[in-house]
A and B are shown apart, each in its own frame.
Chain A
Amino acid sequence: MVDWLNALTISVTGIVSVFLVLGILSMVVGLSGRYFIRKEKEQPEQSKE
């Protein structure tokens, strides 16, 4: 019959990986967003100089 232990491993790995991947992606995109926002703010000041 069904190997329940295997099934449990698969689904736990699955859920954890999905949250991990999207969590890390969220952090990375958040950080890069901060960088881009800062760069954008700097630019108009530079052009005035």
Chain B
Amino acid sequence: MLEQFLEAFQGIGILNLTWGNMVMWVIAFALLYLAIKKGVEPLLLMPIGFGIFAANFPFTGLMDKGGLFYIFYHYGIENELIPPLIFLGLGAMTDFGPVIANPKTFLLGAAAQIGVYVAFFMALLLGFSIPEAASIGIIGGADGPTTIYLTANLAPHLLGATAVAAYSYMALVPIIIPPIAKLLTTAKERAMVMKQMREVGKGERVVYPLLASIVIILLVPKSAPLIAMFMLGNLFMESGVVERLTNVSREALINIVTIILGVGIGATMSAENFLNPKTIYIFILGVIAFAFAVAGGVLIAKLMNLFIKNKVNPLIGAAGVSAVPMSARVVQIMGREANRDNFLLMQAMGPNVAGVIGTAVAAGVFLNIIK
């Protein structure tokens, strides 16, 4: 009887709490603090933070096969269900008008993906494997769902680190973009006022998601889950006849899946997965990826200006790092600093939404080649 008693007693959580668990709690509390007190991506960091916290109690079975968090993770993330659903919601809130009016800015969305490949190489130099390096590089696209989608596919053991890096750097966009963009442009370039955009009619807006799907999915088939859902959401919105579907996609549905996504990611962050030097490298590489993405966008914008008639303000290249619409807002602020009458916000939305497509394409290409 005493033995049974001792056995039962050993099953109590508090006696089995490890150092690793407690360190992860500290990380969880730090994320919760950032989310609640500092407003850093609270919609994501709060579920992630709490997911880490709850998953690091001993004996809960939350992450054992069949456990609640395991179900979130396995069916939502590992099976790649949730990131495309988030893209559906994003599509239903994305206004492609600016990029349709000025299609050249698609190229700036491509240019900002340079950061992805710079970080990819640096990760390889630091000893990461090719699938791991691809998952780290994609952080430079500044697109959370795409980062999660690719990492879940190629290097699921890094999911916690890449997701947290992607979302926390997105919040740091106002700090990362200005110094780099300023370094690469003159005050005169930043002050440049762009030609007003034409208005994009409804017919054109409705045709766009179909056209874009054809081009992108034909060329990069593996980008289909993200792109197809993105364009479907956009069609919902632009068609104007399925307001119920538009609203549920961009409000209820995206919120519901974000909870499951956040908790599921947090739950993968066990001490042995997260507390190793790789995590630190990932955070360093992430910021490098971001920096090169900004530089790529700005420099290609300047290059483009050599060839085109209606010049673009090179600052809008910096908005090619998706982080919609934060980076466009940063560009607007910088343009205004250089010239009180300069309003780049809508112009910057072009590269901004093109950057989302660019990152999804980059992820699709990685999936196509890396097995």
Contacts and interface: CB of A to CB of B under 8 A. Distances in A.
Interface of A: 2-4, 6-7, 9-11, 13-15, 17-30, 32-33, 36-37, 39-40
B117 A11 contact: yes
Contact of A10 (B129, B130, B357): B130
A10 B369 contact: yes
Contact of B365 (A2, A4, A17, A26): A17
Contact of B121 (A7, A17, A23, A24): A7
Contact of A14 (B203, B211, B354, B362): B362
Interface of B: 99-101, 103-104, 106-107, 109-110, 113-114, 116-117, 120-121, 124, 129-130, 133-134, 198, 200-201, 203-204, 207-208, 211-212, 215-216, 219-220, 354, 357-358, 361-362, 365-366, 369-370
A27 B219 CA distance: 15
Nearest to B223: A21
A39 B202 CA distance: 13
Contacts of B129: 2
Given A32-B211, A36-B203, A10 B366 contact: yes
B130 A3 contact: yes
Interface of A is mostly: helix
A32 B207 CA distance: 9
A29 B350 CA distance: 13
B198 A37 contact: yes
A23 B354 CA distance: 11
Most chain B CB within 10 A, of A10, A20, A27, A39, is at A10
Contacts, number: 106
B370 A36 contact: no
Nearest to A2: B124
A22 B357 contact: yes
B107 A19 contact: yes
Given A18-B113, A40-B201, A11 B103 contact: no
A14 B117 contact: yes
Contact of A21 (B101, B220, B369): B220
Contact of B215 (A6, A19, A24, A30): A24
Given A9-B369, A33-B100, A25 B106 contact: yes
B217 to A, nearest CB: 10
A29 B220 CA distance: 18
A2 B350 CA distance: 37
Contacts of B106: 22-23, 25-26, 29
29 contacts: A2-B129, A4-B124, A7-B121, A7-B133, A10-B130, A10-B366, A11-B120, A11-B121, A13-B365, A14-B116, A14-B120, A15-B117, A17-B219, A17-B220, A17-B362, A21-B220, A22-B106, A23-B106, A23-B107, A25-B106, A25-B211, A25-B357, A26-B104, A28-B215, A29-B212, A30-B103, A30-B104, A36-B201, A39-B203
Given A14-B116, A29-B99, A36 B204 contact: yes
A21 B130 contact: no
A49 B370 CA distance: 60
Nearest to A27: B103
A14 B365 contact: yes
Contacts of A29: 99-100, 103, 106, 208, 211-212
A18 B365 contact: yes
A27 B114 CA distance: 21
Given A14-B116, A21-B361, A6 B130 contact: yes
